[in-house]
Amino acid sequence: MPKIRELISEEKVNARIAEMGAKISEDYKGKEIHLIAILKGSVFFACELAKRITIPVTLDFMSVSSYGNSRESSGIVKISKDLDEPIAGKEVLVVEDIIDSGKTLNHLKPMLLSRGPASLKLCTLLSKPDRREVDVDVEYIGFDIPDEFVVGYGLDIAQKYRNLPYVGIAEDDE
Ligand code: IMP
Ligand code: MG
């Protein structure tokens, strides 16, 4: 069992999400926004963010899996659950839990763009800039974090710890 050391407290995460919600509401003023939450990790973040957005919000979900081991992304992304609704003409904001190598979003973005949204931007709770292998333009980033494996607030190790209300570093020790 790994030991979890708190990196970002629940208060700090929630405060930052409130700021992001306010900024997004301002940036998209007069429009409607269509959030696409990438399952499962971004669900906790997406719900909290959606509650802080004051313009009309619609929500859809997509599940992608990337081949490779659980701690590394291969960049080959398979859609295992597609969106329920078309996104043509919509102001789409893709909501991710964390951007690591950048490969997942780098692969997903052109796929979604080909469906003709009015706009497509990316939003992530966490980003590990030191780990980036491909360049992705991310409009909204909650926190830049160091190159550590983190859990909580939706992030998991082998499906566990998603429900922690804070973000913690999973320290290897048995
Ligand atoms: P990328 O394609 O390398 O940017 O991978 C992003 C995906 O890898 C995220 O959506 C997570 O599922 C997973 N991931 C990357 N770093 C972490 C971490 O520190 N904790 C939990 N999952 C992670
Ligand atoms: Mg994920």
147 is catalytic: no
Dist CA 163 CA 174 (whole Å):
21
118-135 mean pLDDT: 96
pLDDT, mean of residues 96-106: 94
Ligand 1 pocket: which residues have CB below 6 Å? 41, 73, 96-104, 149-151, 155
Check whether the bond before 40 is cis (ω within 30° of 0). yes
Distance from Cα 127 to the centre of ligand 2, integer Å: 12
- Overall pTM surpassing 0.85 (yes/no): yes
Chain segment 30-60, per-residue pLDDT in tens = 999 999 999 999 999 999 999 999 999 999 9
pLDDT tens, position by position, 154-173? 999 999 999 999 999 999 76
Ligand 1 centroid to 125 CA: how many Å?
A: 11
* Contact present, 48 and 22 (Cβ < 8 Å): no
CA separation for the pair 83, 52 (Å, rounded)? 23
As given in the structure block, the two tokens for residue 142 are 């909650």
pLDDT for 174 equals: 54
Calpha distance 123→84 (Å, rounded): 20
